[in-house]
Structure 1
Amino acid sequence: MRSTSTLRRAATALLTVAALGIAPTALADTGHQGPSWRAAWAASPQSPTAPFSANWSLQGFADQTVRQVVRVTTGGTRARIELTNRYGTTPLRITGATVARTDKGSAVRPGSIRQLRFDGRASVTIPAGGTLLSDAANLPVEAFGSLTVTLYLADATGPATFHHFSSATSYRADGDHRADLAGTAFDETSASWYFLSGVEVTGGRDTGRRNGVVTFGDSITDGVGSTLDTDNRYPDQLAERLAEAGRPRAVVNHGIAGNQVVNDTTWAGDKALSRFRKDVLTEPGVRTVIILEGINDIGGSTTTFPAAPTPDVSAERLIAGHRTLIREAHAKGLKAVGATLTPIKGSFYYSPANEAKRDAVNEWIRTSGAYDAVVDFDRAVADPADPDRMLTAYDSGDALHPNDAGYTAMAGAVDLDEL
């Protein structure tokens, strides 16, 4: 389920209007006839795993507070969060949660803390496999502003649904610190997000506009290789570029490092053909999806890093997978933009056979007309003297993932008119 019961939300609001002095217009948040909500930030859920470095997903939490910082790409007058227990095997109890404007690190700005409620209650239990939305918080949000979401988890959660590569710092403290202004209690850090899968906003200048962009893909969409806590992933920079051009719109990121189009993995999420419907097609206020995926299908069959090789995938099967994603996007009224696969020469994925597959997929993306538009990320970051290799100035160091400058080049390659 994506949200809690509309009827229960409405009933709770009606019962509390008189006691809390809520304006009648606030009842609009309880039903589908209310204000339009827009995706402002997102992270695709993953099952607990630790293939690269230690994180908190396998052990989970017990009598601990986790504080997570996210930057939204569109603003509004109210906000709500999405929490997920998609890969949990037992119910997840959220004892309490707050949202606030970020100050510095794990600290939040005075006067900005709002207690989040769920159908009017301060705590909520999310069933195994479930996802839900909080009630609206009266916290005006600015585009490119950072929000801090704090969850207090009094009961043992068991292994945690999370997002592995956040390129952002999350914080943990023992005990209940959801209302703390200072960050002194938060003495543990992690570069992952836990249970938090979305932020939505309503109100403001973009009310009623369905023009958001979802970027969908693997580690190169996820931002692996970008500098921690700088929001330099290509989707972030694309959102900034749109705003600077006077054409602001939300850009949300549904990349998962290591993800594949046709193969599930234990460490890099469900295959794109499965998760596209859950991650992309449920996002509100979205008009366009940019799809950059397939290099892990190609390279994953010839390497043991970080797990056993995945089944070999032909270029033809990859193309068939892309065609399926395009059909599903079109069925939901979304424009589908295809992105070419970036260079791999010099990386642990490279071989002549793998390069031949990459070239075949890229040629199909560029020339088939199956996508509504194309962004040529391959040529944007390639070395002109050796087009199968990423330009050194754009390489994070592994010949596979761009650095901040490389992600800038990718964002600059998108034709804004095509969005």
Structure 2
Amino acid sequence: MHTSNSLRRATLALVTTAALALAPAALADTARTDSALSATGRTDSALSATGHHGPAWRAAWAASPQSPTAPLGPNWSQQGFDNHTVRQVVRVTTGGSRARIELTNRYGSTPLRITGATVARTAEGSAIRPGSVRHLRFDGRPSVTIPVGGTLLSDAANLPVEAFGSLTVTLYLAGGTGPATFHHFASATSYRATGDHRADPAGAAFTETSASWYYLSGVEVTGGHGTARRNGVVTFGDSITDGVGSTQDADHRYPDELAERLAAAGRPRAVLNHGIAGNQVVNDTTWAGEKALTRFRQDVLTEPGVRTVVLFEGINDIGGSTVDFPAAPTPDVSVDRLIAGHRTLIREAHAKGLKVIGATLTPVKGSFYDTPANEAKRDAFNDWVRTSGAYDAIVDLDRAVADPSDPDRILPAYDSGDGLHPNDAGYTAMAQAMDLDEL
């Protein structure tokens, strides 16, 4: 069977012929996830992402998965969970009449058993709004096992979702999970309780907190306004896309600010954040995810309803060989090699019909990356971004946040304090630099 959904997951999923033969009735109803998962990626048995044979699903929130690690502070990824309930709050940037979640065991070492899961509207902190709890199912069942390397979607939940509304996803993990696939730097608080509290409206049982997301890699919606529109934006990059330096639990990352600006201008659309703090274009790292050249296919090219991708990555390639924090230096990357990496990403995006916006790298003077050699590389790469014509459009984030009196340094009013990462005002300035017509 050749379908648009299977095509958009071609690099990730393998759905068995037998499973497909059993699925038509369920597909017409809720676009359920097939429970026969491959060991390499996401299974999605919906017949169409365009609405011709089933619901038109659109990505509403995303986070790029990472392997378990703890270089930037304690988290729960390395030990995993055992008889724990994990409650996670996310803010979607587009709405719909139904929602489903994406869970991943991409970097797990053992099959992951999800004993049960719920989705609800967020009240405050770890509390959820009474009456909004929906028990999620997976191919009609309340529990599911995700194989090593696998990713899956829940069945649709009849929960209307508003753009910029917060959803709370709660997972109950009755047995030991082993090390957990997660997203390290969430700029948001997650909560943990011992025992099964997946449907608790109050948050009293959730006495432990973390600043990471676990297993949850996406939220999709269908119905509502823009059902058949393919106009979402993926922001792809490193810590500055991820939101390092922004206020915790305030949704002031630059992708958040961009989504709000689009909505205020009467051009609402989803803006998805696929940044990973410390990530590099051409080098894998032990603590900051697989290189962009690998993860781009899984994180970006599989997102439903997306039209445009903003590529803003490379400063860690340039500076990674000159620092030993938080891990050993990475191999030196020349400007030519970094450019070749971007050209590869552009080609792959174009092959999927995506428009590509390139971004200049922001200032590093006064940061731990500040060396004459690194500055020369940054200048050379930015010159290529501005003049090569390789992208469909560009956004000059360098000039958007630079100090006019010292252009190699971030404007003090935009500096989070480390000379590298913007603060909330800086992220707003980055979003303001985007040409909405280009998006």
Cα deviation per residue 1:31-55 (whole Å; 9 max; x = unaligned)? Answer: 3320110000000000000001000
- 1:212 corresponds to which of 228, 232, 235: 232
Q: Does 1:106 find its partner at 2:109?
A: no
- 1:195 corresponds to which of 205, 210, 215: 215
* Residue aligning to 2:6: none
* Residue aligning to 2:88: 68
Counterparts of residues 336-351 of structure 1 (less than 5 Å):
336-351=356-371
Counterparts of residues 25-174 of structure 1 (less than 5 Å):
26-27=29-30, 30-32=46-48, 33-174=53-194
* Residue aligning to 1:300: 320
Is the CA contact 1:10–1:31 (under 8 Å) kept in the aligned structure 2? no
Q: Does 1:177 find its partner at 2:224?
A: no
Letter in 1 for 2:91: R
Is the CA contact 2:31–2:155 (under 8 Å) kept in the aligned structure 1? no
* Residue aligning to 1:324: 344
In the TM superposition, what is the alpha-carbon distance from 1:182 to its structure 2 partner? 0.2
* Residue aligning to 2:35: none
* Residue aligning to 2:36: none
How has the CA–CA distance of structure 1 residues 292 and 7 changed in structure 2, closer, same or farther, with 3 Å as cutoff? farther
SS at match of 1:338: strand
How has the CA–CA distance of structure 1 residues 320 and 47 changed in structure 2, closer, same or farther, with 3 Å as cutoff? same
Q: Does 1:286 find its partner at 2:306?
A: yes
SS at match of 2:307: strand
Cα deviation per residue 1:263-318 (whole Å; 9 max; x = unaligned)? Answer: 00010000000000000000000000000000000110000011100000001110
SS at match of 1:52: coil
Instruction: Give the TM-score taking structure 2 as reference length.
Output: 0.91
Letter in 2 for 1:26: D
* Residue aligning to 1:394: 414
Cα deviation per residue 1:196-224 (whole Å; 9 max; x = unaligned)? Answer: 00000000011000000000000000000
Distance (Å, rounded) in 2 between the aligned partners of 1:168 and 1:13: 39
Letter in 1 for 2:331: P
Distance (Å, rounded) in 2 between the aligned partners of 1:267 and 1:324: 23
Is the CA contact 1:209–1:285 (under 8 Å) kept in the aligned structure 2? yes
How has the CA–CA distance of structure 1 residues 211 and 71 changed in structure 2, closer, same or farther, with 3 Å as cutoff? same
* Residue aligning to 1:19: none
* Residue aligning to 1:310: 330
Runs of 5+ consecutive residues of structure 1 not aligned to the other structure: 16-23
SS at match of 2:163: coil
Is the CA contact 2:293–2:345 (under 8 Å) kept in the aligned structure 1? yes
Letter in 2 for 1:122: P
Distance (Å, rounded) in 2 between the aligned partners of 1:9 and 1:386: 61
Q: Does 1:253 find its partner at 2:273?
A: yes
Cα deviation per residue 1:358-385 (whole Å; 9 max; x = unaligned)? Answer: 0000000011000000000000000000
Cα deviation per residue 1:57-78 (whole Å; 9 max; x = unaligned)? Answer: 0000000000000000000000
Is the CA contact 1:381–1:390 (under 8 Å) kept in the aligned structure 2? yes
Distance (Å, rounded) in 2 between the aligned partners of 1:77 and 1:53: 38
Letter in 2 for 1:294: G
In the TM superposition, what is the alpha-carbon distance from 1:102 to its structure 2 partner? 0.3
How has the CA–CA distance of structure 1 residues 72 and 7 changed in structure 2, closer, same or farther, with 3 Å as cutoff? farther
Counterparts of residues 379-418 of structure 1 (less than 5 Å):
379-418=399-438
How has the CA–CA distance of structure 1 residues 403 and 91 changed in structure 2, closer, same or farther, with 3 Å as cutoff? same
Distance (Å, rounded) in 1 between the aligned partners of 2:217 and 2:139: 19
RMSD: 1.5
* Residue aligning to 1:275: 295
In the TM superposition, what is the alpha-carbon distance from 1:323 to its structure 2 partner? 0.4
How has the CA–CA distance of structure 1 residues 311 and 63 changed in structure 2, closer, same or farther, with 3 Å as cutoff? same
In the TM superposition, what is the alpha-carbon distance from 1:89 to its structure 2 partner? 1.1
Letter in 2 for 1:64: H
* Residue aligning to 2:41: none
Counterparts of residues 358-373 of structure 1 (less than 5 Å):
358-373=378-393
Letter in 2 for 1:278: Q
Is the CA contact 1:83–1:196 (under 8 Å) kept in the aligned structure 2? yes
Distance (Å, rounded) in 1 between the aligned partners of 2:17 and 2:195: 33
Is the CA contact 2:30–2:155 (under 8 Å) kept in the aligned structure 1? no
Is the CA contact 1:13–1:27 (under 8 Å) kept in the aligned structure 2? no
In the TM superposition, what is the alpha-carbon distance from 1:14 to its structure 2 partner? 3.9
In the TM superposition, what is the alpha-carbon distance from 1:327 to its structure 2 partner? 0.3
Distance (Å, rounded) in 1 between the aligned partners of 2:279 and 2:18: 37
Percent pairwise identity:
80
- The number of residues matched between the two structures is 411
Distance (Å, rounded) in 1 between the aligned partners of 2:112 and 2:136: 16
Letter in 2 for 1:48: P
Between 1-10 and 204-213, the greater mean CA deviation after superposition: 1-10
How has the CA–CA distance of structure 1 residues 136 and 10 changed in structure 2, closer, same or farther, with 3 Å as cutoff? farther
Is the CA contact 2:323–2:329 (under 8 Å) kept in the aligned structure 1? yes
